[in-house]
């Protein structure tokens, strides 16, 4: 901490939370403007570890990640400028700004740069950045909306008067009007336009001034220039009592531009809201139970105060405040916010509950295991945030072009003015103004982010979490889907159906040995064997797990192996009779073998169920012309049984993670766009190798799965919806981009040639960006398809 002031600010945040702090600050700010020293003091307070706990995700010792709100973003060029500026700071590892939500995600190396330095750097280029806090952002948007509405109202009311005067002057031109009258009307128009210029149009000037003082050209520069030139030209004409006045055009510009900004704001808000339900899922307060001697006391505390190990009471109807384990009470909870699945899930002592789920029936006492940024909900939000801020290539290009585009427009405007001055001096002013106002690079850069934000937010409500910016684009292009079997196409809830002793030992002791070997494995087979045994596992040394094959270990000085036939035979150096293998696998059941140096000792037959909806997904994929492959480490017979039930014609068995990856690579070499669908338990390398990774996500595995798309609902048919949404999103993005490019290509030359009156230019550019945003909003509503 640098000074007492920062210390005090940090303490205030720790005590009252960010939200309370913001409210206090907003209410007490003298003019709503940031005061520089005050800002810096607050910025430094954000370096305080205690303060960071609420909004910074600690990825490793030095790597931190935070979500920020950026105030002052008015166009795509601002996005580009901020990204370029922040990423150039030494120690900043990654930065992405989302134009649709005005949020930035920054990853930095805490040993090289402090968060306050990043905030200061943003401040230095004329923007304000602070930690993302949902209610604060809502308040900001609401304030912005109200301010815009006021400016819009002033422009509308005064604009009307100017228009009436303008109409009389036009009529006067036609029927003849005394010079004094005309002059008088002009002066009055000037007087009425002035407040529009000074009050309603102020945000444009402010942003343009910020851009110019930092040698940047954003959208507001040509707009402000257009308005100023039109006004100055008219004022000059009024003073000299000669030439045309354009007060009506000025009023109209300002009115239309503000209208477009207003609707854009409302639409952006709606697009961002699609994923917002999650943000408000956790309650503000919780009931903490403390044991004082023999008395149990209940106290209400803020959720930020909860720490691991605390016990909280969750009455029916209340939301679970953080992740934990039920230690008392039986009830059912609604986890739909996290999984999209609305059926209540039964909970009893020993079960885990996640923060954000709603308790239904009776009180639960929960011991908190994870709080704040470590909870499942926080990781879901972080992943969604990443997807929404990460930009696909086309969006990046649009942002970068916007900055140059504006510069190009300014140059073209200058040339146009010179040309018209020489050829038709009467018209240089309106033509110049039209050129300055008609272009709309914002349509270009709004095209992609609004569509992606709306689509990903909508999918989240289905329990389908998109975690990367490229995911929808890639999904729309995917032509080969590769599925893992166990846990993906099947439920992965295996049961031991039969135990076959192939030696003299009895079934029970063989099962105990098997369970001992499996005791540390996460594999569904391991869990099945462990639950089949009542006796606790014995001592085991040197456990090694070979993903996709099995497990080995030393029990009582004896080496044991459990796994598929190939693995067990190869490791123990013994052979299994092929007929035994075939007979046990009959009907497509999964079999694992247990062996020691003396040979194979036992076989366990396991049963699993196909996931509901798997067949309909496969059918849909085939019907849309996709290739489908089943890759499994299981035996041929199990693989073929599953494949024939699901109608998959291409199945491959006995695959190790390496050979699965090799298969994916080979398909990619042939030019396929490959999506790998797995359960994320032991197929991480294959998932990472595919163009698009889709994993079954649940509970604590969410962050570990590291996939581009997570099926939190565990409903395979939701992939049908996702594919359809992805296609629709790409179509809308293409439409938007095509419109934006076409509009600008057509409008600019027409304006330069003098075919576009200034008012038409104002309408055209406003309508253009509105069209793009409204088109994207169609994606916020998504139907559930094929839900089973
Ligand atoms: P899938 O590709 O169907 O998801 P895996 O790659 O996870 O299957 O595993 C392939 C095979 O390897 C399993 O069918 C099983 O025979 C064996 N295996 C993998 N892990 C284990 C384990 N922990 N215990 C016993 N067998 C295992
Ligand atoms: Mg698997």
**pLDDT tens-place string over residues 491-544:** 888 899 988 888 877 778 888 899 999 988 888 899 899 888 877 777 888 889
Greater confidence (768 vs 440) lies with 768
Pocket lining: 682 vs ligand 1, CB cutoff 6 Å: yes
Q: Which residues surround ligand 2, an ion (CB under 5 A)?
A: 484, 486-487, 679
CA 485 centroid distance within chain: 29
Look at the chain and count its residues.
Answer: 788
Active site residue 507: no
Which tokens hold the place of 504?
Answer: 């003299």
- pLDDT(648) > 70: yes
Greater confidence (68 vs 136) lies with 68
- pTM for this model (two decimals): 0.80
Measured by CA distance, the residue closest to atom 25 of ligand 1 is 563
HSE at residue 624, side-chain half, CA atoms within 13 A, is 15
Put the strands of the sheet holding 352-353 in their side by side order.
295-302, 285-292, 311-314, 364-370, 323-328, 352-353
Specify the pLDDT at position 382: 82
CA distances 3 to 7, 40, 44, 467, Å, are 6, 11, 9, 40
pLDDT band at 684, cuts 50/70/90? confident
Which residue has tokens 């990046």?
Answer: 396
Pocket lining: 272 vs ligand 1, CB cutoff 6 Å: no
Identify whether the C-beta of residue 158 lies closer than 8 Å to the C-beta of residue 195. Answer: yes
Output the CA 692–ligand 1 centroid distance in Å. 23
Specify the pLDDT at position 785: 47
Q: How many CB atoms lie within 10 A of CB 290?
A: 12
Output the CA 353–ligand 2 centroid distance in Å. 25
Measured by CA distance, the residue closest to atom 16 of ligand 1 is 564
Atom in ligand 1 nearest the alpha carbon of residue 679: 4
Burial class (CB in 10 A: 0-12, 13-18, 19+), 179: exposed
CA distances 105 to 134, 206, 285, 695, 713, Å, are 14, 26, 27, 24, 26
- pLDDT(35) > 70: no
Specify the pLDDT at position 670: 95
Pocket lining: 660 vs ligand 1, CB cutoff 6 Å: no
Q: Which ligand places an atom closest to the C-alpha of 571?
A: 1
Pocket lining: 126 vs ligand 1, CB cutoff 6 Å: no
SS3 389: helix
Residues 308-352: pLDDT tens digits? 899 999 998 889 999 999 999 999 998 887 777 777 889 999 999
d(CA 595, CA 602) in angstroms, rounded, equals 7
Counting residues of the chain whose pLDDT is more than 90, the rounded percentage is 31
Atom in ligand 1 nearest the alpha carbon of residue 635: 14
Backbone angles phi, psi at 674, to 5 degrees: -105, 130
pLDDT band at 387, cuts 50/70/90? confident
d(CA 182, CA 161) in angstroms, rounded, equals 15
Measured by CA distance, the residue closest to atom 24 of ligand 1 is 550
Measured by CA distance, the residue closest to atom 6 of ligand 1 is 548
Identify whether the C-beta of residue 611 lies closer than 8 Å to the C-beta of residue 491. Answer: yes
Specify the pLDDT at position 425: 84
Of 545, 564, 572, the one to substitute when testing ligand 1's pocket (max ligand atoms within 8 A of C-beta) is: 564
Pocket lining: 44 vs ligand 1, CB cutoff 6 Å: no
Residues 219-274: pLDDT tens digits? 788 889 989 999 999 999 899 887 788 898 889 888 988 888 888 788 777 766 76
Q: Which ligand places an atom closest to the C-alpha of 656?
A: 1
Supply the DSSP string of 502-546, one letter for each residue. Answer: -SSS-HHHHHHHHHHHHTT--SHHHHHHHHH--SPP---EEEEEE
Of 568, 634, 664, the one to substitute when testing ligand 1's pocket (max ligand atoms within 8 A of C-beta) is: 634
Helix (H) or strand (E) holding 292: strand 285-292
CA angle 171, 177, 179 (to 5 degrees): 130
- pLDDT(685) > 70: yes
CA 392 centroid distance within chain: 13
Measured by CA distance, the residue closest to atom 26 of ligand 1 is 563
CA distances 459 to 339, 422, 690, 694, 748, Å, are 11, 58, 22, 14, 38
Selected catalytic residue, list 211, 310, 334, 484: 484
Specify the pLDDT at position 768: 85
């Amino acid at each position: 901490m640098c000074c007492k002031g920062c210390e005090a600010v940090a303490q205030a945040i720790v005590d009252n939370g960010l939200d309370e702090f913001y409210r206090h600050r907003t209410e007490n700010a003298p003019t709503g403007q940031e005061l520089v020293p005050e800002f810096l003091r607050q910025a430094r307070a954000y370096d305080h570890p205690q303060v960071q706990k609420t909004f910074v995700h600690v990825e490793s010792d030095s790597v931190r990640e935070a979500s920020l709100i950026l105030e002052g973003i008015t166009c795509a060029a601002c996005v580009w400028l901020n990204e370029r500026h922040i990423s150039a700071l030494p120690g900043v590892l990654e930065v992405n700004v989302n134009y649709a939500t005005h949020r930035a995600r920054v990853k930095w190396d805490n040993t090289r740069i402090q968060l306050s330095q990043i905030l200061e750097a943003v401040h230095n280029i004329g923007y304000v950045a602070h930690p993302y806090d949902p209610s604060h952002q809502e308040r900001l948007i609401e304030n912005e909306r109200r301010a815009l509405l006021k400016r819009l109202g002033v422009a509308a009311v005064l604009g009307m008067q100017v228009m009436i005067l303008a109409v009389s002057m036009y009529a006067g031109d036609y029927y003849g009007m005394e010079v004094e009258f005309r002059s008088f009307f002009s002066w009055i128009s000037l007087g009425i336009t002035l407040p529009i210029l000074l009050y309603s149009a102020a945000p444009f000037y402010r942003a343009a001034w910020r851009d110019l003082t930092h040698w940047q050209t954003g959208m507001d520069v040509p707009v402000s220039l257009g308005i100023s030139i039109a006004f100055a030209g008219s004022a000059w004409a009024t003073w000299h009592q000669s030439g045309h006045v354009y007060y009506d055009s000025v009023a109209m510009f300002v009115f239309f531009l503000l209208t477009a900004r207003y609707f854009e704001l409302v639409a952006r808000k709606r697009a961002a809201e699609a994923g917002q339900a999650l943000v408000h899922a956790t309650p503000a307060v919780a009931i903490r139970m403390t044991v004082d001697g023999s008395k149990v006391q209940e106290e209400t505390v803020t959720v930020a105060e909860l720490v691991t190990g605390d016990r909280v009471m969750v009455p029916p109807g209340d939301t679970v405040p953080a992740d934990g384990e039920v230690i008392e009470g039986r009830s059912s909870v609604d986890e739909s916010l996290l999984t999209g699945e609305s059926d209540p899930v039964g909970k009893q002592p020993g079960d885990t509950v996640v923060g954000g789920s709603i308790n239904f029936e009776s009180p639960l006492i929960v011991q908190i295991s994870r709080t704040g940024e470590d909870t499942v909900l926080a990781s879901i939000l972080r992943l969604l945030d990443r997807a929404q801020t990460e930009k696909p290539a086309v969006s990046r290009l649009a942002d970068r072009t916007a900055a140059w585009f504006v510069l190009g427009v300014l140059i073209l405007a200058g040339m146009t003015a010179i040309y018209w001055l020489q050829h038709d001096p009467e018209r240089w002013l309106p033509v110049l103004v039209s050129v300055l106002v008609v272009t709309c690079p914002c349509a270009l850069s709004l095209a992609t982010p609004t569509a992606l934000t709306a689509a990903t937010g909508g999918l989240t409500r289905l329990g389908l979490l998109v975690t990367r910016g490229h995911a929808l684009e890639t999904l729309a292009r995917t032509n080969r889907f590769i599925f893992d079997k166990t846990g993906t196409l099947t439920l992965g809830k295996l049961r031991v159906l039969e135990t076959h002793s192939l030696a003299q030992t009895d079934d029970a002791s063989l099962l105990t040995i098997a369970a001992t070997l499996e005791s540390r494995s996460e594999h569904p087979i391991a869990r099945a064997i462990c639950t089949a045994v009542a006796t606790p596992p014995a001592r085991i040394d040197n456990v090694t797990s070979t993903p996709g094959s099995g497990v080995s270990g030393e029990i009582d000085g004896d080496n044991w192996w459990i796994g598929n036939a190939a693995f067990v035979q190869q490791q123990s150096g013994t052979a299994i009779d092929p007929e035994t293998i075939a007979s046990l696998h009959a009907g497509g059941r999964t079999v694992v073998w247990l062996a020691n140096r003396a040979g194979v000792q036992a076989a366990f037959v396991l049963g699993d169920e196909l996931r509901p909806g798997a067949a309909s997904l496969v059918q849909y994929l085939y019907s849309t012309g996709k290739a489908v492959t089943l890759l499994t480490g299981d035996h041929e017979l199990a693989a073929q049984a599953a494949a024939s039930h699901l109608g998959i014609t291409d199945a491959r068995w006995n695959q190790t993670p390496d050979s699965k990856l090799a298969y994916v690579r080979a398909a990619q070499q042939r030019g396929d766009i490959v999506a790998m669908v797995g359960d994320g338990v032991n197929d991480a390398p294959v998932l990472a190798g595919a163009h698009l990774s889709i994993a079954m996500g649940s509970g604590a595995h969410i962050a570990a799965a590291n996939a581009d798309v997570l099926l939190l609902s565990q409903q395979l048919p939701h992939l049908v919806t996702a594919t359809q949404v992805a296609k629709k999103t790409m179509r809308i993005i293409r439409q938007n981009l095509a419109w934006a490019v076409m509009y600008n290509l057509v409008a600019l030359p027409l304006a330069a040639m003098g075919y576009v009156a200034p008012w038409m230019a104002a309408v055209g550019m406003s309508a253009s960006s509105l069209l793009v945003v409204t088109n994207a909003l169609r994606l916020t509503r998504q139907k559930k398809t094929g839900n089973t």
